[in-house]
Amino acid sequence: EIYFEPDFRFPLNCKVYTEVCTREYDPICASDAKTYSNECTFCNEKMNNDANIYFQHFGECEY
């Protein structure tokens, strides 16, 4: 039997990230259909560019 553990994570909290992000690849798919390399890069795009984007799901965008 194969069991899959759901990808459960707490909601994104962009307030915890600084302007310097790690290079860790843990993709985030956003409403602009763009895959961001991790939560920090997504949050920086959203905050620093006043981007009107929001979190879609964890993982790469498949559009």
Architecture of the structural domain at 14-58: 2-Layer Sandwich (3.30)
pTM over 0.85: no
Distance of CA 4 to the CA centre of its chain: 21
Nearest to residue 60, comparing CAs of 20, 19, 30?
Answer: 30
- CA-based angle 9:6:59, to the nearest 5? 65
Instruction: Tell me the per-residue pLDDT of 6-45, one tens digit each, with 9 for 90 and over.
Output: 566 677 888 888 888 999 999 999 999 999 999 999 999 9
Using DSSP, state whether 14 is helix, strand or coil: helix
Return the domain boundaries, the chain: 14-58
Nearest to residue 45, comparing CAs of 11, 24, 17?
Answer: 17
12-16, 33-37, 48-52, 59-63: which has the minimum mean pLDDT?
48-52
In this structure, what are the phi and psi dihedrals at residue 48, rounded to the nearest 5 degrees?
A: -75, -25
